[in-house]
Amino acid sequence: MPQTDFSPQPFTVRTDQAVLDDLGDRLRRTRWTDQIPGTQWEYGTDLAYLRDLCEYWADGFDWRAAEVRINRWPHVLTTVDGTPVHAIHARSPHPGAVPLLLIHGWPGSVIEFLDVIDRLVDPPAHGGDPGEAFHVVCPSLPGYGWSGPTREGGWHIRRVADALVELMAQLGYPRFAAQGGDWGGIAASLLGAHHPDRLLAIHLNLVLAPPPDEATMAVLSAPERAALEKVVRFTETETGYQAIQGTKPQTLAHGLADSPAGLAGWIVEKFRAWSDCDGDVEKAISRDDLLTNITTYWVTGTIGSSVRLYRESMRAGLFGPPDRPVTVPTGVAVFPREIVTPPRRCVEAHYDLRYWNELPRGGHFAALEQPELFAEDVRAFFRLLRGGAHELG
């Protein structure tokens, strides 16, 4: 377990105006590439969409308003295992609130959770039960946002998960629950596998499980086979970014750290491809939310250290399901446009699965796309546990 370097200190998100002025200048001076006439997103991010987005970023988007929104809740900054760790720490006023760690992934950030924090911290304000409240902690992963950049190698996802255990201890939560998607789903699963004494339960909207053995393959239903085929299609058509970020992230980082248009093009393509948007990303995620997330990477200078997580984790053999069974109670929310979801029986073989719910809409960025559905699903899973024999106190 990493040693505590110092106690968490209050923190406020505030960007130097010179950084914002430079951002606007770079956007207005972008040297745009060409695009084959008649094409749109077939080869990657559409030029016309990206130019329009960047024009708005330069002259319409209000980062100062975004900072006010981000700073609505208390923030802390501490040091864990030699690196800065930032988190939103929103305590509930309701008795019996359960400590809940919300863990983001790439290319997301704590911005994904801004519309679900209140729903979880203060359920009565949204028509819910005060007995279903949470103390919410939303950390920026080491190397991401205000937790970065990291300054040394070896920050793979297992080390990230261990650091989050120490963060929660510093905040006064010796036992807690965790929720995650993308890297957050992998981190939450590792917490359940390696820190069962600290974890009350985990809720995942991206779950990874070992592939079925021959005997299981023989009895898979048609929908389960379709789920496996979806994994194959994703691997064949949507993992080029993994190959780059998992092998030569520094080469990529030089361009993305210098060009905000390049950064936006790299990130927004994933939000479009992985969200439940029918090809129009802003049907699922507002333009201001997209740019709040992208600007977070820009003003903190963390795109390079964020993508290094892929190389570090792949080299350590940690890019996949946890290396041992998850023995804490597990709930899974299946959003229809999630990038991959293994068959339920594969998950049951590797997790203590107590809850499996298939949602009507939403994609990979579930909390950002469908905050109401997301928050209700988290409450529903823990409602099941609170009402049973499993102790959440």
User: What residues are annotated to the active site?
Assistant: 182, 310, 364
Distances (CA, A) of 167 to 3, 117, 134, 172: 10, 18, 17, 9
Alpha helices in 97-213 (DSSP H): 117-121, 157-170, 183-194
CB 177 within 8 A of CB 382: yes
For strands 326-334 and 199-204, give the pairing: parallel
What value does the CA radius of gyration of the chain take, rounded to a whole number of Å? 20
Torsion of CA 38, 40, 43, 44, to 10 degrees: 160
Return d(Cα 298, Cα 259) in angstroms, integer.
9
Alpha helices in the chain (DSSP H): 17-28, 47-59, 63-70, 117-121, 157-170, 183-194, 214-218, 222-237, 240-245, 249-258, 260-274, 281-284, 287-300, 303-315, 344-348, 366-369, 371-386
Return d(Cα 248, Cα 271) in angstroms, integer.
22
Pull the structure tokens for residue 130.
């005060």
User: Which letter does DSSP use for residue 131 in this model?
Assistant: G
Strand partners, 102: 179
CB 331 within 8 A of CB 246: no
Q: At what angle do helices 17-28 and 260-274 cross, to 10 degrees?
A: 80
Would you mind telling me the total number of residues written for the chain in this entry? 393
Cβ atoms within 10 Å, residue 196: 14
Cβ atoms within 10 Å, residue 375: 23
Amino acid type, 166? E
3-state secondary structure of 362: coil
